[in-house]
């Protein structure tokens, strides 16, 4: 399994980074939308939409939302409001994660779960596109976000394997440990220093950059855990079989779904010109 994960990552990572760095924002937005819609279909299945017709309708609704959101990107003044709403929504999810008990299961279509997909996946896509379109270094900022979350994932994995003893969320994902979380936080701390150096921040601003990266990492863990809850409620291990060793598309982007809006909101609050 680990070999499959590494092999898939070695193929996908250069392709993703190359697309981010070389493609104009409008083309990248289209490519990201295609991959996102693969995840949307997986969310439809996790929501209990078993028929191809129901899944198609769900995907088409997201298509309309993405188009509408892309049009609104021409008016960036509304973006902080959407990001703030996304932050509030993820804080609600954190409470739900804390209260989750494994004696629950879902059968059949769940409307609330399907709506949650829209509230999470659409702001996630808009955040990626918006970051990439930032006039001063947008593509590099998006690369930074990807490296931040990927590194945190790697740090959590190896710290958990080496020192993991205390379960982080045994009711949700028994494999995750508090020591793994500390590894992810350490990675976020490092990338916060990198962000401060790269952006030429003053000494007083360095803690802000570190805080932003650490919070983004923590939210990425929340995104991962929330998808684990969805899978646990449906009694499945992976959201799909699209990526060998990784599962489905949602299994690859779950961390970013929570981290991207929060990271972008932090950049704006730090004074990033958009």
Residue pLDDT, tens place only, 245-254: 567 899 889 9
Residue 20 confidence (pLDDT): 95
What average pLDDT does the segment 212-236 reach? 94
Contact predicate 5/158, CB 8 Å: no
From CA 177, how far away is CA 15, in angstroms rounded?
Answer: 31
pLDDT of residue 2: 53
Is residue 4 predicted with pLDDT exceeding 60? no
Does residue 64 have a pLDDT over 90? yes
Single pTM value for the model: 0.93
Query: Residue 149: its pLDDT value, please?
Result: 97
Top pLDDT among 72 and 192 is at 192
The whole-number pLDDT of residue 104 equals: 73
Decide if 139 is inside a domain: yes
E strand or H helix at 108: none
Asked, for residue 274, whether it belongs to a domain, the answer is no
User: What average pLDDT does this structure show over 44-70?
Assistant: 95
Q: Domain range spanning residue 242?
A: 2-269
Average pLDDT over residues 185-204: 95
Counting the structural domains of the chain, the total is 1
Q: What local confidence, expressed as pLDDT, does residue 176 receive? A: 92
Looking at residue 103, its pLDDT comes to 75
CB 84 within 8 A of CB 265: yes
């659409």: which residue's tokens? Answer: 122
The answer to whether the beta carbons of residues 36 and 125 sit under 8 Å apart is yes
244 has pLDDT over 70: no
């Amino acid at each position: 399994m680990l070999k499959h994960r590494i092999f898939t990552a070695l193929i996908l990572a250069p392709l993703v980074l190359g697309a981010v760095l070389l493609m104009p924002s409008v083309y990248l937005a289209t490519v990201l939308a295609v991959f996102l819609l693969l995840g949307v279909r997986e969310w439809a299945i996790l929501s209990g939409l078993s028929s191809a017709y129901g899944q198609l309708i769900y995907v088409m609704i997201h298509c309309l939302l993405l188009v509408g959101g892309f049009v609104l990107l021409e008016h960036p003044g509304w973006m902080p409001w959407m990001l703030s709403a996304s932050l509030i929504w993820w804080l609600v999810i954190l409470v739900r994660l804390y209260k989750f008990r494994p004696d629950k299961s879902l059968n059949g279509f769940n409307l609330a779960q399907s709506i949650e997909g829209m509230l999470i996946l659409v702001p996630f896509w808009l955040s990626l596109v918006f970051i990439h379109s930032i006039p001063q270094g947008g593509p590099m900022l998006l690369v930074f976000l990807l490296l931040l979350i990927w590194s945190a994932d790697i740090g959590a994995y190896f710290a958990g394997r080496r020192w993991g003893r205390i379960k982080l969320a045994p009711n949700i994902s028994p494999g995750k440990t508090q020591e793994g979380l500390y590894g992810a936080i350490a990675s976020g701390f490092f990338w916060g220093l990198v962000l401060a150096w790269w952006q030429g921040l003053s000494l007083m601003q360095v803690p802000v950059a570190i805080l932003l990266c650490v919070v983004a990492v923590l939210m990425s863990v929340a995104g991962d855990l929330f998808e684990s809850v969805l899978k646990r409620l449906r009694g499945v291990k992976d959201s799909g079989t699209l990526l060998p060793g990784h599962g489905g598309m949602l299994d690859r982007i779950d961390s970013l779904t929570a981290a991207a809006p929060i990271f972008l909101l932090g950049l704006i609050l730090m004074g990033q010109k958009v």
